[in-house]
Structure 1
Amino acid sequence: MEPTTHSTESPIATNPTIFQGRVQFSGQAGEFFGIWIVNILLSILTLGIYSAWAKVRTYRYFYGNTQIDGHSFDYLATPIQILKGRILAVVVFVIYSLVVQLLPLIGLLFALGFLLAMPWIINQGLRFNMRMTRHRNVRFAFSGNYGDAFVNFVLLPIASVFTLYLLLPYALKRMDQYLHENISYGNKAINVNLKGETYYMATLITIGVAIAGLVIFGIFAGIGGVAMSVSDIDPNNINISTIIFPLLIMALYIAFLTMISAVYQSIIRNHIFNSSEFSDVTCFKSDLKAADYAILLFTNALAIIFSLGMAYPWAKIRRARLLAKATEVTIYSGALSIIDTAQQEQSSFAEEAANVFDIDISLT
């Protein structure tokens, strides 16, 4: 960690800096593996009921091992809260599945109703997650409204289809803007200033990387195809290349997917963090490098595949450690005056409904 500095002025804040340094993550793969394997076994034995406890244990482990200025995060949700929300969400999903099978027309109306409910699900899920997150004994909150969520998560994605997806980067920018600008820490709202041109630049760079990757992948696939065809012509000519090339092609395919993901995610993550601040409280800096992130995603994917999933805890810990290391936080003395504005307890139903219906909404 970089040394704590005192009483230095910042161009962003007019009050003294009380801390400047990297986020610290102290989780260990061995520790998390023990939690993870027990979570899986008990979830199977209880037919999924224990999954609520598994989620809370996992969140608390990662939150508790993530520190800023020596203070870790707290995850305050209880397993019973998660379980109640999960049961309700599963019941709704089962009803929807039965209706679709037995009464397709009503199922269509049900799907339309779900589309209209999706902004509410997103908002409530985020409210619950933020309300259950605490740092320095101050909770976070989310204040998004239905109208803005409907525009950003329903109307703009649909509109992007009719523009041959030329509007999609702008739609993604609006989604991220909405997700982050409605966060508050205690009584302090965050300021976020995302730029559409950064999203278009990230998209163009990602497309360029994808084209280059496809060319390389095509060349090696062609070489592998020739080698395989030679072996088919002469069965006695089977050699090590017939084994190596399929593995190489698979590795290249994984590398291709991870590089695309890493390039886009690193650019956007850096932009979001570097464009966000709690005025006179804290500002952020992210310098995640696409190459480092791509290597991590690639090696994580290979490890998970060849270990038949057993390397998942190791991969998750590595990712958390890299993202923490790439994040710098500056805290100003204004943080000492933050007030924890208690809100009415939120239900976890919407968050679990979002998971069941495959709406993956997460903060960068």
Structure 2
Amino acid sequence: MANETPHPEEPELPPKANEPPSSKQTSADNSKDKPPEPATPTVPEVPSLPTSPPQPFQFEGSAGEYFGIWLVNLLLSVITLGIYSAWAKVRRLRFFLGYTTIGGHRFEYHANPMAILKGRLVAVGVLIILNVISWLAPILGGLTTLALLLLLPWVANRSLRFNARMTSFRNVHFDFQGSYGKGFVAFLIFPFLAMISLGLLAPFATRYSARYLASSYHYGTSELETDPPLAALYRGLFIAFGIMVLTMLVLIGLLVSVTMGLEMLTVGMIEEAPQDWVLLLQFLPGVVVIVFYLGLFCYRAIARNVVFGDLKLAKVHSFKSRLSGIRLAWILISNTLLTVLTLGLLQPWGAVRRWRYEMETLTLIPGGPLDEFIGQVQPSSEVISSEYADLQDMDFGL
């Protein structure tokens, strides 16, 4: 087999004068002339702010303990012709607030019963004077009623301010700095508009009142704010209205069925039949009252959930409310029935039952370290300088 002779490699010829350089040469030359690309800087990860876990409100009081407080308050208030009621209020609020905790820390109520008594004496004195004026000059009766209405926002603001300043959490007092003008709109104008509109303007009243109260309350120097959406409030109103209609139809259907059953049992007794329907008409007012309060409590529960769902403390910490309107209505209606049936003896049990449910459906959601936040909260200078005296710090709420 003949050996193949290898061909010699042809030397690479230089490019001709008119021939463009090859792509390999171009890329090689460009890579030599082009400066190296700077390295992409790496952005350091910002550590997330440590947050505290959600802090549910808890109530640790018992109905048995409150029954003793309630009984003593009742007996001494009767014996002293109502004078002891100021001390009774302090004991009652110290029980409910003192057993309400967040993260193991309790609220405290520091009011002096004498300040409450002085405020009540002033309020009673004003009422007596206005009644005497109406009795001596009946033509001025309308003016005295108007005077009471004009005093209502001032009295409400003073009472809210007193109770806020007398309440503290972890040694920091609350404060309330509402104004008469906004209080007049919140306590008189919007409730009146909601009433004459048959409830259609109730969400507007709820939103304005929530804005006013939240912006007026302070925890030390930290502000609160809320702006509940109207759409959510109107959705709650329609849900409450639907529950009212459904409950009304069910109750009326039951009453009609019972009445027709009684009528069938009295066949041939013509004179008895109309009495059965009269009995139905006698029950209708009670049905209307039950249905009304059921719808009212359902709306209140939904409104509280919406308002607290938008509530912010110091623009960082938020809240969550899980109140059920049906359950709240059941608690209040059953409390009323049991209180009437037991001649008032179960009233303390009902009060504890309602307070526990309303507190334990509320949760504080910290937006940062809660202990650090509370450690930085400064007391309100107005609370410190008020001296807790004279009309500045009287509770006018009756």
For normalisation by structure 2, the TM-score amounts to 0.75
Deviation at 1:33, TM superposition (A): 0.5
Deviation at 1:72, TM superposition (A): 0.6
Deviation at 1:250, TM superposition (A): 9.8
The one-letter amino acid paired with 2:225 is: N
Alignment RMSD (CA, Å): 3.3
Pick one of 58, 61, 65 that aligns with 1:27: 61
> Within 1, Cα distance between the matches of 2:298 and 2:185?
27
Pick one of 268, 286, 292 that aligns with 2:303: 268
Segments of 5+ residues of structure 1 without an aligned counterpart are 1-13, 356-364
1:91 lines up with 2:125 in the alignment: yes
Matched residues, percent identical?
Answer: 33
1:316 lines up with 2:355 in the alignment: no
> Within 2, Cα distance between the matches of 1:225 and 1:88?
54
1:130-149 deviations in Å (ceiling 9; x for gaps):
11110000000111112222
Q: Say which structure, 1 or 2, has more relative contact order (CA 8 Å, 6+ apart).
A: 1
Q: For this pair of structures, how many residues does the alignment match?
A: 337
Q: Is contact 1:20-1:328 (8 Å) kept?
A: yes
Which residue of structure 2 aligns with residue 10 of structure 1? Answer: none
Pick one of 220, 223, 231 that aligns with 2:257: 223
Q: Which range moved further: 148-157 or 71-80?
A: 148-157
> Within 2, Cα distance between the matches of 1:194 and 1:283?
13
Q: Is contact 1:132-1:140 (8 Å) kept?
A: yes
Which residue of structure 2 aligns with residue 287 of structure 1? Answer: 322
- 3-state secondary structure, aligned to 1:17: coil
> Within 2, Cα distance between the matches of 1:350 and 1:30?
33
Which residue of structure 1 aligns with residue 3 of structure 2? Answer: none
1:76 lines up with 2:110 in the alignment: yes
The one-letter amino acid paired with 1:277 is: K
1:203-224 deviations in Å (ceiling 9; x for gaps):
2222221111221222222234
Which residue of structure 2 aligns with residue 337 of structure 1? Answer: 376
Residues 1-364 of structure 1 aligned to structure 2 (within 5 Å)? 15-160=49-194, 166-226=200-260, 256-279=291-314, 282-331=317-366, 332=370, 333-342=372-381, 343=383, 344=386, 345=388, 353-355=396-398
> Within 1, Cα distance between the matches of 2:286 and 2:60?
30
Deviation at 1:329, TM superposition (A): 1.3
Q: Which range moved further: 267-276 or 110-119?
A: 110-119
For normalisation by structure 1, the TM-score amounts to 0.82
Which residue of structure 2 aligns with residue 8 of structure 1? Answer: none
Deviation at 1:31, TM superposition (A): 0.5
1:315-334 deviations in Å (ceiling 9; x for gaps):
11111111222111133332
> Within 1, Cα distance between the matches of 2:336 and 2:267?
31
> Within 2, Cα distance between the matches of 1:25 and 1:81?
27
Q: Is contact 1:287-1:327 (8 Å) kept?
A: yes
> Within 1, Cα distance between the matches of 2:76 and 2:397?
23
> Within 2, Cα distance between the matches of 1:276 and 1:149?
19
